[in-house]
Chains A and B, each alone.
Chain A
Amino acid sequence: MKESLSLVQRFSAHPDSRCWFVSWSPNGTLLASCGGDKAVRIWGREGDSWVCKTVLQDGHQRTVRKVAWSPCGNYLASASFDATTCIWKKKNDDFESLTVLEGHENEVKCVAWAPSGNLLATCSRDKSVWVWEVDEEDEYECVTVVNSHTQDVKHVVWHPNQELLASASYDNNICVYKEEDDDWECRATLQGHTSTVWSLCFDATGQRLASCSDDRTVKIWKDYSNESGQVELPWKCVCTLSGYHGRTVYDIAWCRLTGALVTACGDDAVRVFKEDETASPDEPVFSLAAQVTKAHSQDVNCVAWNPKEAGLLASCSDDGEIAIWRFQEEH
């Protein structure tokens, strides 16, 4: 069996600027990107190529760091260094600004929708994670501010099917939160990385969490809480991938269709790892299945698997470009 990562298309997405993040719409037909040009762009496939469908400008005063689609695909949230989060609503083929969530003291680093679509999480350099509730009238209300990190919070991600939230921070730790009596509490602090944790993602079942860090490693954490009831620390690191990445690993994505793990690295490379299915679940083994060492001419900031089309991958970089890749396992 041989795997390969082949380039489908490469295009300039945020000229003269960085492309920080890309996100697929839930049905996999659209790709949203954001960057240092303060804009969000929506890309769609036309024939064989990806074209810009619309540009969301004037929503933010500074860099747009991340974008997130609501599970229904009708809303888009954008987090910006201007300390705000914009909610955009799809209208015909365009998006209009619905509301602006204010409250963070400084740069908002990440925004994520819960699978239910009723909750939204944001995090910021102000060290806090905020959870917002959305009602039927599209009204947003902050329900919780959690201050479990001692430094800026880089990333937040929701569990795929439970109301469970995880965050990654400059303080080298990961926190996992759960709602308790209308309040969100940090239930576990995952320590192990020796520098900033830049990103996190759950696998399809939500049993495992992958994290990537400035320490140039990727760690796999497993949830043991279901098996033995309440344990002291329900999440344990079961695997560390080191020696593959030459610089900071900025992003990691776990394909919900194929189980492949992909990383975005400051050494300009995109790497795909596959799990050895024969290994013990408590000691999983991942091996490098494919890599493109010069995937971009500068740091790769983000990688995202298409949620519907197995193996289709988007990456973006400091060079302002987006690349679409196809990961294939040839038998």
Chain B
Amino acid sequence: MAADSTLLLSLVEEFVSGLQDSKAKDAAKGVKDGQFTVLQLVEALGLSLTSSQAPTRARGVQLLSEVLKECYGELTEREVEVLIAFYENRLKDHYVITPPVLQGLKALTKCTTLPPGSAVSMLRSLFQDVHVQSLMLTERACVYSMLINLMETREAELKGLGADFVFGFVQSMDGERDPRNLLLAFRIAKNIIDRGYDLGKFTEELFEVTSCYFPIDFTPPPNDPHGITKDELIQELRGVLTGTPKFAEFLLPLIIEKLDSDVPSAKLDSLHTLTACVSQYEHKDLAEFLEGLWTSLRREVCLDCQHHLCEPDLKLVWPSAKLLQAACCASNRASHIVAAAVMPSLIEQYNSRTQCSHRRTLLEVVQRFVQSVRTSQPSVSDESVLSAFRDALCSIVFSALSESNSSLQITATSVLISLAQQTGLLLNSDIELAVDHLTRLLLTEEDDRVSAAVVECAGALAELHPAAFITKLIPRLKKEMFSEPMAQDHTEPSQQHSHHAMRQRCLSALAAVSKQASVVQESTPVLLEVLSSAHTGGVSFSVDEVVLACRSLQRIAEQVEDTEETGQCFHSVIIPRLLSLALQAALQGDSSPGVGSPLVEAAVLSAMVPVISSSCSRLQPTLAAQTASRAVSLFLDGDVSFLPDNSFPSHIQLLKKQQKDSWSQSQMVCLLMGCVCSLPRSVEVPQIDQLLSELEEMSCSCSHQLSYTSAAKCFAGLVNKSPQGDSLDSLIQRTMKRVCSELDSASSSVRIQAFTLMIWVAKALLLRYHPLFTTLTDKLFSLLDDTDLGPMAADGFSLLMSDFTDVLNRSCHADVRIMYRQRFFSENSAKLVEGFNAATQDKKPNYLKALSNIVNKLPKQVQVTELPALLSLLLEALTCPDEGVQLSTLSCLEPVLINPPAALVQQLEALVNRLIPLICSPAMNVRIASLRCIHALSHFPVHEVLPFRARVLRALAKPLDDKKRLVRSEAVLARGEWFLLGSPGGR
């Protein structure tokens, strides 16, 4: 022991006076090895510690502290107690001694043998005797480390200090500047908050002392020696500030203030912090600040977005514009503000840009703004927000319309629509200029997308500003349409083509602009003149062009506002004129066959039907009744008195069998159908019995398809509306008897005609749920086994389930019960299955086709519920060699596959087995449809389809090289999805 004490003294001497730092290690080793104890060391230090020289005392304490740093784990509780008392005492000593004292205390905070109460006493001394921020960097770090150590092990004791602990900490860190120390300090603050230390009355102080660093502005020194990033500091501080709702009342005003900062990163930090605290805080914490936050955010968003709108390469222009437009929609006032702020710069941008893609983008932005201004306008509006920019906007639009870039032109048309829809914004002169531009484009622009946009634009503008269209556009279009493309024989095919295309555009434009009665008065005569010129040959129009003229008339009939005036126009002008022209053509066709007016063409007549039926369906009852009686007397009695250009021969008998089986008159029965089958049900059709009997006769005897089919449809259309009762029943029974006798006679030459009448009557009865319908169904089913008519019967099921535009639909006032398809399906599907099972092999395809025709037309919901029962049959249908059956079955499977019922999933194997061979079908449509189905299979539950992945991928490799592009692209889509199955990042 004596020898050791000599050694000890010499170590102390060499360290303190000799300034040999390495002796500290030796001393520590001595303690560890048990050569002497720490208290013996303190004893040996006696002289140094009592020296009058502060540096000597400091050196003495330093030796002790360094030894403790090594040996704190080996101290007894008693030793610790003594040492703490010693150190606490030393804290009051000269300031040069403080650093080693703190080192020693820090070492002691790590002792597991820290006696109860010592943590508190240590901290009290610390807070009382040390002004932390006067210390050097490392000593300050030392203090923070002590706090952290003690918080880890002595939480309960520290909490016993109450709010004093928080206050002591706040004082200690107040003014801290070093980022390394800040990280430590933030950690302590976070602990205080998270672990529920009592903040007492120091909540605001704790907030102040930390929030003064917000937002963090720190750039690490070059080479980043400490590895501390700005982001770390931001995250730590954010953790503190957003850690407790108690800070809400201080933090939210701070955020509102900082949102206005000019430093983008500060703004961003504020927003992120806001996000973080919003997710922490409850509504009550936020409530009182919402308004302020909203104001700041809104201003922030607007300014920022406006800035983006002007960026040189239009980065972020879309998102910014969307935000601003949303703001526009908020209120009328908002739209004023935003428009005033944004429009000038957009206009200027547009005018200074030369690249079409930029201009187009800007124009689209403009359009959205104009639109959002519109939606925010109150209905009774004073001056439009956009008035100030009218001139500039118009000139932009007109200049864009004059560009050769089609996207730009298209965008300009939609801006024009939006501008025109701003009440009172555009002047008449603007509209006239616009009409000039539109006219020019209609006449010259070959790009389909542009002309479609122009037509749409003309339609929209004409609805609001009809005058200019009546005075300028219609006369001009008429003039151009009626110009001959020079002598036909000598013109180049391309010129002919472009002349035809121009007429096509004009015809659809005439329809588009005809929404107001005043325009219709001007446009329909032009269209009718196309028909009559075509008939007389005054100006030659192709069949295609005549059909388009009819379509335009039809569109007008459908869209025109329903007024007395327009009803009269159709009733007394258009319908008689159409009938007259058709009749003239028919009579001429009979007298001089071969010369051929286009108006005898089936395509033209079929296009006239919906013009008549749409207009008749909308006629007022008196006009409707008059139209019905005129039509009936024309067709039954040859009464031509109401027709214009009346130079017709007497004794016209349109429904009677014609000489030499001529059909040019008989086919006009389709126009009769247009007149009498679309009238409101309240309108009584005169001479109905005779009419029906002549129609029946024609449909069962005529050999001309359009004639007998139209007669059958007309018959069916009337039957559908005939009042319930014995006379209807006997009519049906009589007709069925005749039909059946033809059908049952294998040698009959009119079996097809009889079948056609039957299927249309069946359709008429099915729609109204007539009880006699079943008689017809039975006959239809029996025909599936018919050698000749079997396939036609199967297709008949498609007719039963489909809607038609010219007859037997709701807009023709037909009696259509809801869910007639489902009803038919549920009453007959079992019969079909039975029939299939009983049929001979060569007839089975008829049943499959019939079934797929029905299922195909069912609403998806019904398909999904009904499919399980029929699945095996449908799967069977996929193997049927008939391509029509395959296609129909595939098209009814596909929608069901997208959201497959369990029954289907169970049949996956069979589905895959049957679909894969169809990928190689000779029919392109079957290949496409089967690929779509296989694509849909990829959305089945993954575990179900995964076993098929390799097989399907292999099968899908082949159609990637299909000769048809459409097939290839389906294969690509399907294969892409199947690849993603079971693959990471896929499905």
Instruction: Decide if A and B touch, CB cutoff 8 A.
Output: yes
List 4 A-B residue pairs with CB atoms under 8 Å apart, sorted by A's residue number. Answer: A15-B954, A16-B950, A16-B953, A16-B954
B954 contacts across to A, CB distance below 8 A: 15-16
A15 contacts across to B, CB distance below 8 A: 954
Q: How far apart sit A312 and B155, CA to CA, in the bound complex (Å)?
A: 83
- CB of B984 to closest CB in A, whole Å: 14
4 closest A-B pairs by CB = A16-B950, A16-B954, A16-B953, A15-B954
Q: How far apart sit A16 and B950, CA to CA, in the bound complex (Å)?
A: 7
Q: How far apart sit A306 and B954, CA to CA, in the bound complex (Å)?
A: 32
Binding site for B on A (CB under 8 A): 15-16
B950 contacts across to A, CB distance below 8 A: 16
A16 contacts across to B, CB distance below 8 A: 950, 953-954
Q: How far apart sit A16 and B951, CA to CA, in the bound complex (Å)?
A: 8
**Those of B901-960 within 8 Å (CB) of chain A:** 950, 953-954
In the complex, which residue of chain A has the Cβ closest to the Cβ of B950? Answer: A16
Chain B 948-984 per-residue mask, 1 if CB under 8 angstroms from chain A, else 0: 0010011000000000000000000000000000000
Q: How far apart sit A16 and B956, CA to CA, in the bound complex (Å)?
A: 12
Q: How far apart sit A15 and B950, CA to CA, in the bound complex (Å)?
A: 9
- CB of B916 to closest CB in A, whole Å: 15
- CB of A221 to closest CB in B, whole Å: 41
In the complex, which residue of chain B has the Cβ closest to the Cβ of A16? Answer: B950
- CB of A320 to closest CB in B, whole Å: 10
In the complex, which residue of chain A has the Cβ closest to the Cβ of B957? Answer: A16
Chain B 670-713 per-residue mask, 1 if CB under 8 angstroms from chain A, else 0: 00000000000000000000000000000000000000000000
Chain B 739-761 per-residue mask, 1 if CB under 8 angstroms from chain A, else 0: 00000000000000000000000
B953 contacts across to A, CB distance below 8 A: 16
- CB of A242 to closest CB in B, whole Å: 32
Q: How far apart sit A307 and B54, CA to CA, in the bound complex (Å)?
A: 93
Q: How far apart sit A15 and B954, CA to CA, in the bound complex (Å)?
A: 9
Q: How far apart sit A16 and B954, CA to CA, in the bound complex (Å)?
A: 7
- CB of A296 to closest CB in B, whole Å: 15
- CB of A298 to closest CB in B, whole Å: 11
Q: How far apart sit A15 and B953, CA to CA, in the bound complex (Å)?
A: 12
- CB of A294 to closest CB in B, whole Å: 15
In the complex, which residue of chain A has the Cβ closest to the Cβ of B951? Answer: A16
In the complex, which residue of chain A has the Cβ closest to the Cβ of B949? Answer: A16
In the complex, which residue of chain B has the Cβ closest to the Cβ of A37? Answer: B950
- CB of B415 to closest CB in A, whole Å: 53
- CB of A299 to closest CB in B, whole Å: 16
In the complex, which residue of chain A has the Cβ closest to the Cβ of B954? Answer: A16
- CB of B180 to closest CB in A, whole Å: 37
- CB of B983 to closest CB in A, whole Å: 14
In the complex, which residue of chain B has the Cβ closest to the Cβ of A17? Answer: B950
Chain B 479-519 per-residue mask, 1 if CB under 8 angstroms from chain A, else 0: 00000000000000000000000000000000000000000
Q: How far apart sit A185 and B950, CA to CA, in the bound complex (Å)?
A: 46
Q: How far apart sit A158 and B954, CA to CA, in the bound complex (Å)?
A: 39
Q: How far apart sit A16 and B975, CA to CA, in the bound complex (Å)?
A: 14
Q: How far apart sit A15 and B951, CA to CA, in the bound complex (Å)?
A: 10
- CB of A62 to closest CB in B, whole Å: 14
- CB of B947 to closest CB in A, whole Å: 13
Q: How far apart sit A246 and B953, CA to CA, in the bound complex (Å)?
A: 29
- CB of A63 to closest CB in B, whole Å: 16
Chain B 63-92 per-residue mask, 1 if CB under 8 angstroms from chain A, else 0: 000000000000000000000000000000
- CB of A18 to closest CB in B, whole Å: 14
Chain B 852-890 per-residue mask, 1 if CB under 8 angstroms from chain A, else 0: 000000000000000000000000000000000000000
- CB of A268 to closest CB in B, whole Å: 16
Q: How far apart sit A149 and B272, CA to CA, in the bound complex (Å)?
A: 49
Q: How far apart sit A15 and B957, CA to CA, in the bound complex (Å)?
A: 13
**Those of B22-65 within 8 Å (CB) of chain A:** none
- CB of A13 to closest CB in B, whole Å: 15
- CB of A96 to closest CB in B, whole Å: 28
Q: How far apart sit A16 and B953, CA to CA, in the bound complex (Å)?
A: 9
Q: How far apart sit A27 and B290, CA to CA, in the bound complex (Å)?
A: 86
Q: How far apart sit A16 and B978, CA to CA, in the bound complex (Å)?
A: 14
Chain B 697-740 per-residue mask, 1 if CB under 8 angstroms from chain A, else 0: 00000000000000000000000000000000000000000000
Q: How far apart sit A16 and B957, CA to CA, in the bound complex (Å)?
A: 10
- CB of B954 to closest CB in A, whole Å: 6
- CB of A61 to closest CB in B, whole Å: 15
- CB of B915 to closest CB in A, whole Å: 19
- CB of B961 to closest CB in A, whole Å: 11
- CB of A38 to closest CB in B, whole Å: 13
